[in-house]
């Protein structure tokens, strides 16, 4: 029987609710953290929602302010024979089914979230040990989950090429006082009085919604913040994606994927990387990078190409660092 943490409690709540506004979900995360005496950092509620999206627990569309609980899925980790991940909505009924199966026939592993200062705890990661890959479909059916052979690699094959979207109106009215341009040197948005140079911009719309737009040759187009940053990096031929191979025998085609903290992966890309382990990325280099483990080179190449990046291959270390480094 599991011991429920705040992360598990929040996951159960959203699994029962099934969907709603991202704004209300963030407020619920903040209020729950406060009720449990957690001193959460600014924007920790945003981070929590984004982590749950990457972990496959929910699907979020930040531009329409809507989220929905993701279906329960059993999937293999890439090139990790004998270990599969359970992800998706984890309602009270699902949790009872899993606990009952674990007490009877299922080899269930529960990995608690590692404590991170200022962060709202995430749900525990659930994994299944198995002896015969051919039985995974049967195992999934018995716990009421869909079986996906390897979600990480399947997502990698579906990643769209980063590009601007539909044309959009330039800033106007009260929004002119809120215009910011992404500074590639400072790696953040900074206020600007001009919006005539090519770049990534954001401002507040008439309803105070934060709008993110890309400007090319005098034409504004819609984009997501993460995709827009990579389009800007491509414009100046700068890379933010790196990969280092593992050194263990037979693991040379697997490794650790690094991205700059201020160039986070778009949601679909982040999910593909996270589902290689079922764990959130590690912060490294004094918080300046995010690292994803067990990422196959083929997936790292697909992620980089999709984001218009030339994947930088780092020399292997004497030993692959653990998740605590």
Mark which of 160, 189, 222 sits at the end of a domain: 222
* 268/202 Cα distance (integer angstroms): 22
Tokens of 284: 């490294």
Quick check: pTM over 0.85?
yes
Structural domains counted in the chain: 3
Exposure string (b/e) for 188-226, b if CB count within 10 Å is 16 or more? ebeebeebeeebbbbbbeeeeeebbbbbeeeebbbbbbb
Query: What's the domain range around 203?
Result: 173-222
Q: Do 12 and 141 belong together in one domain?
A: yes
Q: Do 250 and 203 belong together in one domain?
A: no
Q: Do 16 and 60 belong together in one domain?
A: yes
Report whether 123 contacts 57 (CB < 8 A).
yes
Q: Which of 51, 54, 58, 57 is closest to 21 using CA atoms?
A: 58
Q: What ranges in 200-280 are assigned the alpha helix state H? A: 225-235, 267-274
Q: Do 199 and 248 belong together in one domain?
A: no
Query: Which residues touch 246 (CB under 8 Å, ≥6 apart)?
Result: 252, 254, 255, 256, 316, 320
Output the tens digit of pLDDT for each of the chain's 325 residues: 456 799 999 999 999 999 999 999 999 999 999 999 999 999 999 999 999 999 999 999 988 899 999 999 999 999 987 999 999 999 999 999 999 999 999 999 999 999 788 999 999 999 999 999 999 999 999 999 999 999 999 999 999 999 999 999 999 988 899 999 999 999 999 999 999 999 999 999 988 889 999 999 999 999 999 999 999 999 999 999 999 999 988 888 999 999 999 999 999 999 999 999 999 999 887 778 999 999 999 999 999 999 999 999 999 876 544 543 3
Q: Do 83 and 126 belong together in one domain?
A: yes
């Amino acid at each position: 029987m599991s011991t429920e943490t705040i992360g598990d409690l929040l996951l159960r709540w959203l699994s029962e609710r099934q969907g709603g506004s991202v704004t209300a979900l963030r407020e619920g995360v903040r209020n729950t953290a406060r009720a449990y005496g957690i001193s959460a950092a600014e924007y920790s509620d945003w981070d929590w929602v984004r982590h749950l999206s990457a972990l496959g627990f929910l699907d979020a569309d930040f531009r329409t302010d809507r989220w929905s609980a993701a279906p329960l899925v059993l999937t293999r980790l890439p090139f990790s024979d004998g270990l599969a991940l359970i992800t998706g909505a984890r309602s009270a009924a699902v949790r009872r089914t899993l606990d009952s199966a674990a007490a009877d026939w299922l080899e269930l592993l529960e990995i608690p979230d590692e404590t991170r200062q200022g962060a709202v705890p995430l749900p525990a990661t659930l994994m299944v040990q198995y002896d015969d890959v051919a039985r995974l479909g049967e195992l999934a059916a018995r716990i009421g989950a869909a079986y996906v052979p390897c979600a990480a690699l399947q997502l990698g094959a579906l990643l769209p090429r980063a590009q601007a979207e539909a044309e959009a109106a330039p800033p106007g009215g009260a929004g002119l006082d809120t215009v910011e341009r992404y500074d590639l040197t400072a790696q953040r948005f900074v206020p600007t009085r001009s919006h005539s140079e090519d770049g990534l911009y954001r401002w507040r719309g008439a309803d105070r919604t934060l709008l993110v737009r890309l400007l090319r040759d005098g034409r504004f187009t819609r984009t997501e913040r993460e995709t827009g940053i990579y389009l800007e990096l491509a414009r100046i031929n700068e890379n933010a994606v790196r990969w280092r191979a593992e050194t263990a025998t037979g693991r040379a085609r697997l490794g650790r994927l690094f991205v700059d903290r201020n160039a986070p992966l778009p949601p679909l890309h982040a999910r593909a990387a996270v589902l290689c382990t079922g764990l959130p990325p590690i912060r490294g280099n004094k918080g300046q990078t995010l690292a994803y483990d067990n990422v196959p080179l083929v997936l790292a190449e697909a992620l980089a190409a999709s984001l218009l990046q030339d994947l930088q291959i780092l020399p292997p270390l004497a030993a692959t660092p653990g998740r605590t480094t």
